[in-house]
Amino acid sequence: MKKVQFTETVLRDAQQSLIATRMPFEVFEPALSTLDSAGYYSLECWGGATFDSCLRYLDEDPWERLRKIRKACPNSKLQMLLRGQNLLGYKHYPDDVVRLFVKKSVENGIDIIRIFDALNDLRNIQVAVDETVKNGATASGTICYTTSPVHTLDQFVKIAKELENMGVQTICIKDMAGIMSPKEAYELVKAIKENVKLPVIVHTHSTTGLGYMTLLKAVEAGADVVDTAVSCFSTGTSQPATETMRYVFEQYGYDTGLDIEKVNKVNSIFKPYRNECLKSGLENPISMSTDTDALNYQIPGGMLSNLIKQLTDMKKLDKLDEVLTETPKVRADLGYPPLVTPMSQMVGAQAMLNVMSGERYKTVSNEVKAYLKGEYGKAPGTVNADLQKKVLGDEKPITCRFADTLKPGLPEVKEKYPDATDEEILSRICYPQQAETYYKKREEEKNRTYTYKIEKV
Ligand code: CO
């Protein structure tokens, strides 16, 4: 029997795309045991923006969240998203930090690490892949899908072969903007399957309305696993719905392994919360609709909902169209980086600066400056030479892997916090400010409880 498996994204990408990653542990806790027995290939539940969001907005220790999910889902493969040398942050970390982060992620419960580099510069994922395999977890080597004059089918197949040679166990095609058409997905999956022996996983978003068709054609071409979200957190900037795709695949004679009653139960657990999010405005109906503009602008789900949120906060939502027009221009200037974190934020923020200041590149963000210096890796195309000259002056951009220029990152932080666990050290390195606030608060709470007990006696 033909077979296709599912990765459920409600705990990570779906909520990141629709409600800016604000779902607290208590909300999804009641769904965990059902998710665990519903027959998924994996549960994507950690990494991406969840780590930052836990510390910054939800007052949760991200490591503890992972351990709790692990405990509640003993039968499932837990999956995380990792930005290679960037880990979960926006800059490149030294190798010792990357290795410890991967090791601790696996120790705390992760089975599968989907590893990508925003520029598809594979030098930037090599260390994370190596450490993942070394720790007995599955390294899913990821191709960031995008369209541009410099991204071709042959180029993507070449990346897939390089990933296979690197030792990854699966290949993931990551279409973060939901711009991969059914035809492109069919051709790409087929070409990769013909050239590489590994299972192929397809990740897309429904932003442009292509997602459902794209997954169907990808599976027809031989894709082994698809990413979907339980229906009440599906569609729009999120993934296609789990229930719908299962329905279609079963009609075509695929064994999906999913227990539909359990998936329905999961959906009924999340539905009241989804309704609350709509009522409170946390979920913007714009994110749930189909936006074909993204076929031109190539704005990923998370980026689009963030831009809308930022412009709404600034009471400048009327500038949205201008920002969306400026975005591809900035992207071309930077040599067509795929619009995925952190490039999506970088390009989006620079486009906002260019529109708000009324003059292009009047102000250049530090991130774009670092990018032009070569600190993020090799651009897929050619960067705008005038812009590079304006920013760098006579300084030459680097050509080596940026992490090779960094000294080890652990000793200094370990010396500063001698009593901290490895997990706390890593939180402090990745998100220094948020971690400081979080751990300080936790310390204060501990002391408060203590005083209270004394008074009671
Ligand atoms: Co995504």
What is the mean predicted confidence (pLDDT) over 382-393? 94
288 Cα to the center of ligand 1, angstroms: 15
Of the chain, the percentage scoring pLDDT greater than 70 comes to 96
Q: What is the whole-number distance in angstroms between the Cα of residue 175 and the centre of ligand 1?
A: 7
pLDDT at position 182 is: 98
Q: What is the pLDDT of residue 341?
A: 74
Predicted pLDDT of residue 457: 44
180 C-alpha to ligand 1 centroid (Å): 12
Q: Which two tokens stand for residue 86?
A: 């960037």
How far, in Å, is the centroid of ligand 1 from the Cα of 176? 5
Tokens at 78, concatenated = 């837990």
Give me the pLDDT at residue 450, please. 56
Least confident of 43-47, 207-211, 289-293: 289-293
Does pLDDT of 377 surpass 80? yes
Q: How confident is the model over 324-366, as pLDDT tens digits?
A: 889 989 999 999 999 877 788 899 999 999 999 999 999 999 9
17 CA from centroid of ligand 1 (Å):
8
pLDDT band, residue 449 (cuts 50/70/90)? low
Q: pTM for the whole thing?
A: 0.91
Cα 115 to averaged position of ligand 1 atoms, centre (Å): 13
Distance 210 CA to ligand 1 centre (A): 14
Residue that the structure tokens 């390089």 belong to: 162
* Residue 215 Cα to ligand 1 middle (Å): 14
Question: Residue 49: what residue type?
Answer: A
pLDDT tens string 113-127: 999 999 999 999 999
Alpha helices for 150-284 (secondary structure H): 153-166, 182-195, 211-220, 242-251, 260-280
**Cα 301 to averaged position of ligand 1 atoms, centre (Å):** 7
Mean pLDDT of the chain: 94
What whole-number distance in Å separates Cα of residue 246 and Cα of residue 257?
A: 9
Look at residue 251 and tell me whether its pLDDT is greater than 60. Answer: yes
Of 87, 21, 8, 11, residue with least CA distance to 49: 21
Q: How far is the CA of 13 from the centre of ligand 1 (A)?
A: 6
**Over pLDDT 90: what percentage of the chain?**
85
Kindly give, in sequence order, each residue whose CB lies less than 8 Å from that of residue 58, ignoring residues fewer than 6 positions away.
Answer: 22, 24, 25
Residue type, 151: H
Q: What are phi and psi of 362, to 5 degrees?
A: -60, -45
CA of 425 to the centre of ligand 1 (A): 28
pLDDT for the residue 232: 98
Query: How much distance in Å is there from the Cα of 204 to the middle of ligand 1?
Result: 6
- How much distance in Å is there from the Cα of 12 to the middle of ligand 1? 9
Pairwise CA distance, residues 148 & 298, whole Å: 10
Answer yes or no: are the C-beta atoms of 235 and 222 closer than 8 Å: no
Q: How far does the centroid of ligand 1 lie from the alpha carbon of residue 403, in Å?
A: 25
Q: What tokens appear for 220 in the block? A: 């027809």
Neighbours of 96 (CB within 10 A): 15
Calculate mean pLDDT across residues 297-311. 75
pLDDT of residue 305: 73
Give burial (CB, 10 Å; 0-12/13-18/19+) of 456.
exposed
- C-alpha 441 – ligand 1 centre gap (Å): 32
pLDDT band at 286 (very low <50, low <70, confident <90, very high): confident
**Whether residue 212 has pLDDT greater than 80:** yes
Question: Cβ of 288: how many Cβ atoms within 10 Å?
Answer: 18
Q: How far does residue 457's CA lie from ligand 1's centre (Å)?
A: 53
Q: How far is the CA of 237 from the centre of ligand 1 (A)?
A: 9
Res 452 pLDDT > 60: no
Question: Is residue 78's pLDDT more than 80?
Answer: yes
* d(CA 364, ligand 1 centre) in Å: 27
Q: How far is ligand 1, taken at its centre, from the CA of residue 63, in Å? A: 22
Q: What is the mean pLDDT of residues 71-85?
A: 97
